[in-house]
């Protein structure tokens, strides 16, 4: 007989980023950590999964497609301009490449 399928549970944070994977018994088989802009900082275990920062699929380039534009976690910036031109009342919004106003922890 072949191998029996296993049940892994994906544990996410409030942003949807995968932080851990557990097996059917609840044992943690892998953990994933990133900095506040999404750069991977620590990984344990051998369980692989395709999701990166904010739960979006990772690609081979390390970029994340955040539903409208590609984001580069290593730069903390989008690689293309936002279509919205920003607002003078919110000066950070005038930089059309920033991610969450350059303040991802608030």
For the chain, give every domain's residue range.
9-102
Query: What angle is formed at CA 61 by the lines to CA 59 and CA 63, rounded to 5 degrees?
Result: 65
In 1-106 the beta strands, taken as DSSP E runs, fall at 9-12, 18-22, 28-34, 40-45, 64-65, 70-72, 77-78
Provide the pairing of β-strand 28-34 with 9-12. unpaired
pLDDT exceeds cutoff 80 at 12: yes
Residue range 36-53: mean pLDDT, rounded: 89
DSSP state of 84: S
CA distance 64 to 55: 10
Over residues 57-92, the pLDDT tens digits come to 888 898 999 989 999 999 999 999 999 999 999 998
pLDDT exceeds cutoff 80 at 15: yes
Quickly state the pLDDT bin for 1 (edges 50, 70, 90).
Answer: low
Residue whose tokens read 């979006």:
56
Model pTM? 0.79
């Amino acid at each position: 007989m072949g191998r029996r399928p296993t049940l892994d549970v994906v544990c996410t944070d409030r942003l949807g980023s995968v932080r851990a994977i557990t097996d059917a018994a609840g044992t943690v088989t892998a953990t994933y950590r990133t900095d506040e802009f999404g750069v991977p900082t620590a990984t344990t275990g051998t369980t692989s999964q395709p999701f990166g920062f904010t739960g979006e699929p990772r690609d081979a380039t390390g970029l994340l497609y955040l539903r409208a534009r590609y984001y580069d976690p290593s730069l903390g910036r989008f690689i293309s301009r936002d279509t919205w031109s920003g607002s003078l009342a919110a000066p950070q919004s005038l930089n059309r490449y920033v991610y969450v106003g350059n303040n991802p922890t608030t």
